[in-house]
Amino acid sequence: MHEEDRPGIHTTVYRQPGGNVPTEATEAVGLQVDRVEGQTVIVRQSRVNQLSGNRVRLEQSRVDRVEARSAQTDQSAIRHLEAERAVTLRGAVAWAQARDVRAVRTRIALLQADRVTVEDGRVALAVVRELAGPAYLRLPLAAIGTFLAGIVAGLLLGRLRGRDGG
């Protein structure tokens, strides 16, 4: 068994995809922990409550909250993702806030971003400045109905108050 395959927290060398410069990284493998943080953090096959770092990479993991300048995920589930740049592959994110997001075969429930590229993924509700790529954005019919019912109720209530002189 290689050092990087054993469960635990290890120091390892990380090479950014397409890059030749090795960087020292903190790697967590096969753990269930409350918090992992570092400059460059790699989390594999783990469950983490809070993860923070300058550069974060997740593989087959579940994280409640990720805070990073740059986040890259593969086959992972995240409850809240906050990053300047995020790339998610084959995963699920409940709430994502980022300046730039690229999602490939990923489901995102709520997304707030400046620029988004979605490839073969789904976004339920998004607040986006610029959307690129073939995206499937959907708003559930129940949410649309609730929104419209709220508007109608507000208009009716305004009318009733206007008649009462209120």
CB 88 within 8 A of CB 104: yes
Structural domain count of the chain: 2
Domain coverage including residue 81: 3-134
CB 116 within 8 A of CB 131: yes
88-106 as b/e, with b when 16 or more CB fall inside 10 Å? Answer: bbbbbbebbbbebbbbbeb
pTM, to two decimals: 0.74
Within this chain, do residues 165 and 87 fall inside the same structural domain, yes or no? no
Q: What is the pLDDT along the chain (166 residues), one digit of tens a residue?
A: 445 678 888 888 887 766 678 888 899 999 999 999 999 999 999 999 999 999 999 999 999 999 999 999 999 999 999 999 999 999 999 999 999 999 999 999 888 898 888 898 888 877 777 666 555 455 566 666 777 777 888 788 777 777 666 5
Within this chain, do residues 111 and 29 fall inside the same structural domain, yes or no? yes
Within this chain, do residues 148 and 104 fall inside the same structural domain, yes or no? no
Within this chain, do residues 68 and 150 fall inside the same structural domain, yes or no? no
Within this chain, do residues 39 and 104 fall inside the same structural domain, yes or no? yes
Within this chain, do residues 44 and 102 fall inside the same structural domain, yes or no? yes
